[in-house]
Structure 1
Amino acid sequence: MRDGSRPTVFNGGAARRLWAAVLTLAASTVLFSVGFKLLMAAEGRAFGWASSLYWTVVTMSTLGYGDIVFESELGRLYSVIVLGVGALLFLALLPFVLIQFGYLPWVRAVRHSRTPRSLPPQTADHLILVGHAPLQECLIRRARAARQDHVILVEDLPEAVQLRKLGYPVVVGPLDDPQTYRRIRAETASLVFTASKDTTNTNVAFTMREAARSTLLISTASSPDAADILRLAGCDEVFQPGEYLGEQFARRILAPAARSSVIAGLGGISVAQVSAAGTDLIGQNLGAARLRRRVGLLLVLAHDASVARRQHRRGHRHSQVILLALGVMVTTPGVSPQPDTQGGTRSRRGR
């Protein structure tokens, strides 16, 4: 079902197995019919080809009417062999035919009817997420919170059925077919996002640009070279999650001076986090540091739960402690915040 338009009866491998079983059955029937004629001639009895074929089919199918039987020991042994081979062939072929031509087409038809291949013509300003991974899941949560229409595009039908059961809006179609992006209205979408392997992202970019030239396309990349290729393929924005996460961890954990980073906001309230490493907060309790008066509500987190319990009992800060501050930053004499090149603020004497 490569084109995503309709379910097929069976694939190439199943067709080859079916033809092999049919040819084996036909060859066995001819050979056993010849053997029947020879053995009957040895017993002094003559039968035509129609009778030989009749006896072979009746014996192989285990019907055994008993109107034509051998009289010699060799003939009866031959009947047992024909019966055993016929039973094996029919036991292997009959279930295969029933499953391949009855059950599987029905299952594919049900899956095909439950998983859409296109979006309504009036669909516009929606998000198209190629594949389902942690980054896409994060965007889905934000889209739901903002009540933004979105859809997940996958090319694997079982995956699409499973996502649909979980309540995700999903469409199925090959990623390397421009018609797929036309059917999901990529030309009127507000954003197309892909976060797969570099080769898959490049394929998506080239193909999507054939259907929608002006839609914003954002992709991930694993290296600077891959990012350059993706930009040439038509991506408007390319970022490297690994490099970004490494910079963030290094800046927040290994930086010699305290750096704050705003991670969320609610109205006029900002939520920022800062490491206590390398600051004058180490060895002080919350009262001596006057943090509550400077930033408002204060939360204290630690990488290790045992560290958090010890600091809570003693009231002192440790270098493994991370502070979360809610409120508006208020400077004190001798401490002048400076802009941080990484998006936060930096203090000359620490927080």
Structure 2
Amino acid sequence: MFKIKISKSIISYVSIFTFLVLIYSLMFDYLMLNYEDKSYDILTAIYWVIISMTTVGYGDIYFKSPIGHFYTIVVVLSGVVIFFGYLFPLVVTPQLEKTLRKELPLKVPIDLDNHIIICGYNQLVETLIVELDEYKIPFVVIDETEKNIHHLISRKIICIHGDASDDNVLLNSNICSGRILIANRNDEKNAAIILTAKELCDIKVISLVEDVAKAGYLKYAGADQVISPKTLFGTYIGRKAVDPLTDHLAGATRFFENLNIVEFPIYPKSPLILKKLKDAKIRKETGASIVGLWTLGRLSLNPKPEDIIKESSVLLAVGTEKQLEALKKLTR
């Protein structure tokens, strides 16, 4: 469908260009004969029009009269519009996009094994990536979003651009020699990923679930473990409500291996107050990731970078004990 659309566009472009060249050539002959007292054949007229429209302009044929100068300007400007305004977006830009798309990684190195396969990239995965890097555990991230893949490539993280529910994509991730697969998409997509993974080989699958009511379906699909981030957050918050004097790290809830979820209230003297999350640079300073923000009694999961940290705010963070200890100092 896309190729047919492009072909019709190119035909239209060529037709318009040919029509303009013909009209401009006839106008050239008319102006040269009536205002310059010169006569040129049609081939020469076409030659002048094309070199003028493409801004080559050898200067061997030119107008001396004011109307001729004005006509030359019209031809040159229309040529610029046609070539750079229509030809580039129509032909050049799609080819560049196609070339860049081809450069996106589609498979992992052959020798990658005993690795973690992460399907879907978001802030929770970012925290996991930091943890895996620290412990030198090999992993690959599979994601369909080109922007995410380019971001991962810039950080030299092994990744694959594709749909993780596609068996070819999973095979290209060396799934059969992998250690664990983590399904981190929406519930429906996770079910498809689990089914595909289990059909290919017997790999341990951990699936995240958005709607706890659907956890059973993911188990039926073949997930060895189903984790609900919202439930984990709720468990932690409930525990803090029962025992509010407990130290934040001592009462942390374990998420993945070596990762904890901790709630940090913002104290009056904290340097984070009135800063946007993106300006606070918490992950850069501490290594911990902010996955939730309490403001005026409301919890926002995956808060936006523009969200402002207030004195009444409570940060929900994921990280190692060391990272969370560093964040704890910033909140006081």
In the alignment, is residue 89 of structure 1 matched against residue 79 of structure 2? Answer: no
Q: Provide the C-alpha distance between the structure 1 equivalents of 2:225 and 2:189, rounded to a whole number of angstroms.
A: 16
- Label 1:25 to 1:132 Cα distance change in 2 as closer, same or farther (>3 A): same
CA contact (8 A) 1:125 1:189 kept: yes
Does residue 1:119 correspond to 2:113, yes or no? no
Aligned 8 A contact 2:53 2:76 in 1: yes
Equivalent residue for 1:205? 194
Secondary structure of the structure 2 residue equivalent to 1:192: strand
2:171 pairs with 1:178: no
Residue 179 of structure 1 deviates from its aligned partner by 1.0
| Structure-2 change in CA distance of 1:47 and 1:137 (3 Å) | closer
Q: CA deviation at 1:24?
A: 3.7
Distance 1:182 1:206 in 2: 14
**Equivalent runs, 1:51-70 vs 2, <5 Å:** 51-62=44-55, 63=57, 65=59, 67=61
Per the normalisation by structure 1, the TM-score is: 0.55
- Structure 1 107/243 Cα, relative in aligned 2: closer, same or farther at 3 Å? closer
The separation in 1 between residues aligned to 2:209 and 2:234, in whole angstroms, is: 14
Cα offset, 1:77, TM superposition: 5.0
Residue matched to 2:283: none
**Aligned equivalent of 1:25:** 17
User: Aligned AA for 1:192?
Assistant: L
Unaligned segments of structure 2, at least 5 residues: 255-262, 270-332
Using structure 2 for the length normalisation, give the TM-score: 0.57
Q: Distance in 2 between matches of 1:123 and 1:84?
A: 56
How much identity, in percent, do the aligned residues show? 18
Which residue identity lines up with residue 59 of structure 2 in the other structure? Y
Equivalent position of 2:141 in the other structure: 152
Residue 232 of structure 2 corresponds to: 244
Q: Retained in 1: the 8 A contact 2:119–2:143?
A: yes
Flag the 1:126–1:74 CA change in 2: closer, same or farther, 3 A: closer
Seen in structure 2, the aligned counterparts of structure 1 residues 302 and 50 have a Cα distance that, compared at 3 Å, is closer
Query: Contact conserved, 2:185 with 2:208, CA < 8 A, in 1?
Result: yes
Q: Report the CA distance between 1:28 and its aligned residue.
A: 1.6
CA RMSD of aligned residues (A): 4.6
- Partner secondary structure for residue 217 of structure 1: strand
Aligned with 1:235: secondary structure? coil
Deviations 1:68-91 (A, max 9, x none): 7597x7666544433332243345
Partner residue in 2 for 1:217: 205
CA distance in 2, matches of 1:36, 1:170: 58
Q: Which runs of 5+ in 1 are unaligned?
A: 1-9, 265-300, 308-351
CA displacement at 1:180 relative to structure 2: 1.2
1:288-307 superposed matches below 5 A: 303=265, 305=267
Q: State how 1:297-336 maps to structure 2 within 5 Å.
A: 303=265, 305=267
Contact 2:32-2:63 at 8 Å conserved across structures? no
Which residue of structure 1 aligns with residue 177 of structure 2?
A: 188
Aligned to 1:253: 241
| Cα distance change, pair 167–35 in 1 and its aligned pair in 2 (3 A) | closer
Instruction: Give the deviation of 1:253 after TM superposition.
Output: 0.9
Aligned AA for 1:238?
V
CA deviations 1:129-158 (Å, max 9, x no partner) are 123334334444554555433222233444
Q: Is the 8 A contact 1:128 1:151 kept in 2?
A: yes
Between stretches 135-144 and 192-201, larger displacement belongs to 135-144
Mapped partners of 2:266, 2:63: distance in 1 = 85
Distance 1:90-1:188 versus aligned 2 partners, 3 A rule: closer
Which structure has the bigger radius of gyration? 1
For each residue in 1:180-222, what CA deviation from the matched residue of structure 2 results, as whole angstroms up to 9, or x when unmatched?
111111122221002232243234224334433x211111111
Alignment of 1:220-235 (within 5 A): 220-235=208-223
Amino acid at match of 1:86: G
For these two proteins, the number of residue pairs brought into alignment is 255
2:38 is aligned with 1:50: no
User: Structure 1 CA distance, aligned partners of 2:166 and 2:210?
Assistant: 24
CA shift in 2, pair 1:246/1:306, >3 Å: same
The equivalent residue for 2:281 is: none
CA contact (8 A) 2:108 2:159 kept: no
Report the AA paired with residue 245 of structure 1: F
